[in-house]
Amino acid sequence: MIVSKVEVRKGDILILHTGWHRYAQFGEEADEERYIRMHPGPHRDLVPWLLEKEIKIWGLDPVSTDHPMNLPIGRFLGKGQFGQCDRVRVKAEQIFGGAEEVDRLFPEEDYQITHNALFPHNCIHIENMGGEIAAPELQNQRLTIGCFPWKFKGGEAAFARTVAFVGEFGN
């Protein structure tokens, strides 16, 4: 599906615009529950494809690169008092056609697959992208991308500003 929209060359930085940023806190249709618990996530086949394409950095606008059913919120986070994972599971079963289908689509070995399978290959990601990501001049284009993380001692993840440079400098 990606290559039907844009050429992806070996070693590219890949930014996927799903439109999900619109549900983020400052989005056009802000809905925190939907943004966090119901965001889209890639099929497991994306992992070997990213490695084959030698993608070292990729990003997208949902809160995570993994589907909620492959994250703590879909597996165990919030069991008991708040029941967040139970609500995520029920919604997934409604969408995907029952418990067996959810188990088939989201097997245990896919838990945090885009984190666990890609990081050891120095393939990192940028999650929760927003701002101007929907701008038409950024869609399906070759651009120069800069990512400027907040630096802190002993950190492994950070807030970052990601910028697309458009025009002569950007191509």
pLDDT of residue 121: 98
Q: Are strands 124-126 and 144-149 parallel, antiparallel or unpaired?
A: unpaired
Q: Which residues contact 9 (CB under 8 A, 6 or more apart)?
A: 53
| Model pTM above 0.75 | yes
pLDDT of residue 152: 83
What percent of the chain has a predicted confidence (pLDDT) above 90? 70
Residues in the chain: 171
Q: What's at 34, amino acid-wise?
A: R
Name the residue with higher pLDDT: 80 or 38.
38
Closest CA to 63 of 114, 31, 21, 105: 21
> What are the tens digits of pLDDT across the range 88-144?
888 899 999 999 999 999 999 999 999 999 999 999 999 999 999 999 999 998 999
Highest mean pLDDT among 22-31, 47-56, 70-79: 47-56
* The two three-digit tokens of residue 144, written as one number: 């120069």
Superfamily of domain 1-35+42-65+112-171: Putative cyclase (3.50.30.50)
- 78 pLDDT higher than 70: no
* Averaged pLDDT of the chain: 90
Q: Which residues contact 1 (CB under 8 A, 6 or more apart)?
A: none
* The two three-digit tokens of residue 59, written as one number: 């990003």
What percent of the chain has a predicted confidence (pLDDT) above 70? 94
Phi, psi of 126 (to 5 degrees): -120, 120
Exposure of 163 by Cβ count < 10 A (0-12 exposed, 13-18 middle, 19+ buried)? middle
pLDDT of residue 155: 78
Give me the residue spans of the domains in the chain.
1-35+42-65+112-171, 67-111
pLDDT of residue 87: 84
